[in-house]
Amino acid sequence: MYHHVKKLMYTVNISQPDPKFGKMLLEQFGGANGELAAAMQYSVQGLNCEDAARKDLLMDIGTEELSHLEVVGALIRMHLKPMKDDREAAEADPLIAIAGGGGVGLVDSMGNAWTANYLKITGDVAVDLRSNIAAEARAKIVYERLIGFTQDQGSRQALQFLMTREITHMRAFTAALESMEKPIFSVGIIQPTPGLVDQYFNGSTGESQYGETDFRGPWNESHGLSLVESEIKGGTGLDVAPYDPKPGTEKTSPVDSSPVGAYTGNAGKQIKERNSAKKAQAAKNAEPAA
């Protein structure tokens, strides 16, 4: 259950409206990496999360992002105001001016309607946390760029507030992933094919007209990797010997989400049972409060 308190989480004030900057700011209201995307990604992941502790985390941050949506919306609304009756301002975004009456809408800086295609929700908590870490990094860089395009102090301070919170969330999601105590390249319950997983494939070779060449780097040789050249370039190519998947071979965590699939064998069943037992226990502990 949600409750709304009219006080904004952060007080926004601007010296004078800059409607073209307001249009830029829409990126963080109805854009791909904006506050609604964050709020929805974390909250829906939370609804689906089987681990009550990480579910709490997801709901905490999902809810804070809703409060941010309101803050950035208030800031944008101040900047867009001239679109109501200045022809030149209105030309910069007629969708906002004419269809939206000069108010904020769930669109990005080029007028694209917000879509749930922006969201990354897999229902596997260890995977979702990685998506969230990346999402926070993206939101951080977008806020930083917006700061770089305005000199209005009130706007810069509001954006600094919002930008800061992304780093807080990035830390929290990282902590949550680390606390699962899985090896960083373990995902799910099936190990990758030995040998093949170590082969870095050199899919792009040669040299461009602008001096870019076929570099070597740690990504060719650390974390167990080694370089393989393509058959097309006379190399051996990848090891393509058929290999049967073996559910249950990957290292898992006690807080992993249930595996999905009818044919995951015992590995799938065991994790599901463990999760059910955990949930039953949580519900039992909670009973007096219910």
Residue 15 Cβ vs a copy of itself, minimum distance, rounded to whole Å? 13
Residue 179 touching a copy of itself (CB under 8 A): yes
Interacting residues with a copy of itself between 91 and 120 (CB under 8 A):
91-95, 97-120
Residue 62 touching a copy of itself (CB under 8 A): yes
Residue 254 touching a copy of itself (CB under 8 A): no
Distance CA 40, CA 113 (A): 15
Cα dihedral sign for 262, 268, 273, 275?
Answer: negative
CA dihedral 184, 128, 42, 258 (to 10 degrees): -110
- Residues 109, 115, 119, CA angle at the centre, nearest 5°? 105
> Do the beta carbons of residue 173 and residue 215 sit within 8 Å?
no
From 151, 249, 254, 277, residue interacting with a copy of itself (rule: CB under 8 A):
151
Residue 249 touching a copy of itself (CB under 8 A): no
Residue 18 Cβ vs a copy of itself, minimum distance, rounded to whole Å? 10
Residue 207 touching a copy of itself (CB under 8 A): yes
Measured from the CB atom, the residue of 17 and 103 that comes closer to a copy of itself is 103
Residue 16 Cβ vs a copy of itself, minimum distance, rounded to whole Å? 16
Measured from the CB atom, the residue of 147 and 274 that comes closer to a copy of itself is 147
Residue 22 Cβ vs a copy of itself, minimum distance, rounded to whole Å? 10
User: Which residues, listed in sequence order, are joined to residue 247 by a DSSP beta bridge?
Assistant: 190
> Do the beta carbons of residue 79 and residue 103 sit within 8 Å?
no
How many residues lie near a copy of itself (CB under 8 A)?
Answer: 187
Q: What are the backbone angles phi and psi of residue 190, rounded to the nearest 5°?
A: -115, 125
